[in-house]
């Protein structure tokens, strides 16, 4: 813990600087307020950018390590064939290949209410879905999964039956609509056997271990299916979401820099105010500083005293501003990223440290000229006024 008494004993000029700030509290308070506003502006805008980036990453979620494959515009088949799926599995050893068939139907509640849903036939449900209730089995051979919002709307519970194509399937789990195939909407997930009348798959999702691995998988599939022979054709449409994540991160990074630049303007204005305060203070105390010089106080002590005053303004304003920014950051992360505690991660705290450091540095720099002017003023001229 910092002992101010020990510091004051070792450096009398620092003690004098602390006392000088208290002599004109209104002026000191206004200068400090400018610093506080500047720190809040920098830290809050920086954390707003971080919260937006966190929200984007959360919304994309696991899609960044997925590759979506569908029938290409030059394909002669109406969908992805079984042979193509097997070929994918042969050339991609370290990723999960999950074929899907899709259709549409209506789900009916006990009281006759109907909701239009997208039907997805899949065998490895756990590779694509996470449930909020129940479970998504590794091999979905019986039973069904339903979007949680649809289940609430219809009043359905785990174990209730849903009908499709004349057959009944018991609900085994509920999933968030945005986590499912296609990124949203009402979904009913059934075993592939429920859509056996469809010859080909409507799409295939390849689940890789990371965004980099997903990009490599997409490139491999492009070479294997679409770049054979002299005339390249799009037999399969291959889309990776990893590049989308990179583009969004790049845009948000630029946006964050712009927000920090806007916030920095407030601290620059506050620095000008501190410069004005320090100049006025040295002018008013010109005679006092002359007396100090006349009794043997060195220029270095005067210089340190004025710089210490500016540093104290930055420290006080930086601490108060950072504390206030912490509360503002919590609210921003709660609103934008749905988790206010993320403000305590490095993504949030780095902007608090940046704002605080900027406040101290800007304050000290603002005191350099007044300190130099006071230290180099002739004692005789200062005493004459």
Helices (H) and strands (E) in the chain, counts: 11, 10
Instruction: Give CA torsion, residues 183, 187, 193, 196, to 10 deg.
Output: -80
Instruction: Give CA torsion, residues 345, 348, 350, 355, to 10 deg.
Output: -150
46 and 116 belong to one structural domain: no
Q: Is 282 helix (H, G, I), strand (E, B) or coil?
A: helix
113 and 161 belong to one structural domain: yes
Q: Is the pLDDT of residue 321 over 80?
A: yes
Structural domain harbouring 157:
64-241
Q: Is the pLDDT of residue 179 over 50?
A: no
Does a structural domain hold residue 72? yes
Q: What are 223's two structure tokens?
A: 């070479």
Does a structural domain hold residue 211? yes
CA–CA gap between residue 215 and residue 385 (Å, rounded)? 74
Predicted pLDDT of residue 182: 43
Predicted pLDDT of residue 33: 86
Predicted pLDDT of residue 320: 93
94 and 27 belong to one structural domain: no
Q: What are 216's two structure tokens?
A: 């490599």
Predicted pLDDT of residue 263: 74
86 and 24 belong to one structural domain: no
Does a structural domain hold residue 175? yes
DSSP code at position 298? -
Q: Report residue 230's pLDDT band, with 50, 70 and 90 as the boundaries.
A: very low
97 and 227 belong to one structural domain: yes
Last residue of a domain, one of 241, 260, 293: 241
Q: What is the model's pTM?
A: 0.58
Does a structural domain hold residue 5? no
Percent of the chain with pLDDT over 90: 12
Instruction: Give CA torsion, residues 169, 171, 176, 177, to 10 deg.
Output: 20
Predicted pLDDT of residue 259: 75
263 and 230 belong to one structural domain: no
Number of domains in the chain: 2
- Higher-pLDDT residue of 135, 244: 135
Predicted pLDDT of residue 190: 92
Q: Is the pLDDT of residue 283 over 90?
A: no
Q: Is the pLDDT of residue 181 over 60?
A: no
260 and 306 belong to one structural domain: yes
CA–CA gap between residue 261 and residue 243 (Å, rounded)? 27
At residue 119, φ and ψ (nearest 5 deg) are: -95, 130
């Amino acid at each position: 813990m910092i002992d101010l008494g020990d510091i004051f004993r070792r450096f009398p000029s620092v003690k004098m600087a602390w006392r000088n700030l208290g002599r004109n509290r209104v002026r000191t308070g206004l200068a400090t307020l400018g610093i506080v506003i500047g720190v809040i502006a920098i830290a809050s805008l920086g954390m707003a950018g971080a919260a937006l980036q966190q929200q984007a990453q959360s919304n994309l979620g696991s899609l960044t390590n997925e590759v979506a494959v569908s029938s290409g515009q030059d394909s002669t088949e109406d969908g992805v064939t079984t042979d193509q799926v097997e070929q994918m599995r042969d050339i991609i050893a370290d990723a999960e290949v999950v074929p899907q068939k899709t259709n549409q139907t209506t789900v009916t509640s006990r009281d006759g209410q109907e909701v239009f849903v997208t039907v997805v036939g899949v065998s490895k449900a756990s590779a694509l879905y996470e449930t909020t209730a129940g479970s998504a089995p590794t091999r979905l051979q019986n039973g069904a999964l339903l979007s949680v919002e649809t289940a609430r709307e219809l009043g359905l519970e785990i174990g209730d039956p849903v009908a499709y194509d004349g057959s009944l399937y018991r609900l085994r789990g509920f999933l968030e609509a945005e986590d499912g195939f296609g990124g949203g909407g009402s979904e009913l997930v059934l075993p592939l056997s429920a859509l056996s009348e469809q010859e080909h798959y409507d799409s295939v999702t390849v689940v890789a271990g990371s965004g980099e691995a997903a990009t490599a998988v997409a490139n491999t599939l492009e070479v294997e299916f679409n770049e054979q022979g002299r005339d390249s054709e799009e037999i399969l449409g291959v889309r990776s979401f990893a590049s989308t994540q990179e583009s969004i991160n790049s845009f948000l990074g630029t946006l964050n820099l712009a927000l920090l630049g806007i916030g920095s303007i407030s601290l620059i204005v506050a620095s000008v105010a501190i410069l004005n305060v320090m100049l006025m203070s040295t002018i008013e105390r010109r005679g006092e500083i002359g007396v100090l010089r006349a009794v043997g106080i060195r220029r270095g002590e005067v210089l340190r005293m004025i710089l210490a005053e500016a540093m104290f303004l930055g420290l006080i304003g930086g601490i108060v501003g950072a504390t206030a920014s912490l509360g503002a950051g919590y609210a921003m992360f709660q609103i934008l990223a749905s988790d206010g505690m993320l403000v305590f991660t490095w993504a949030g705290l780095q902007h608090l440290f940046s704002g605080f450091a900027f406040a101290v540095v800007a304050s000290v720099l603002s005191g350099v000229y007044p300190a130099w002017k006071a230290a180099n003023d002739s004692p005789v001229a200062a005493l004459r006024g």
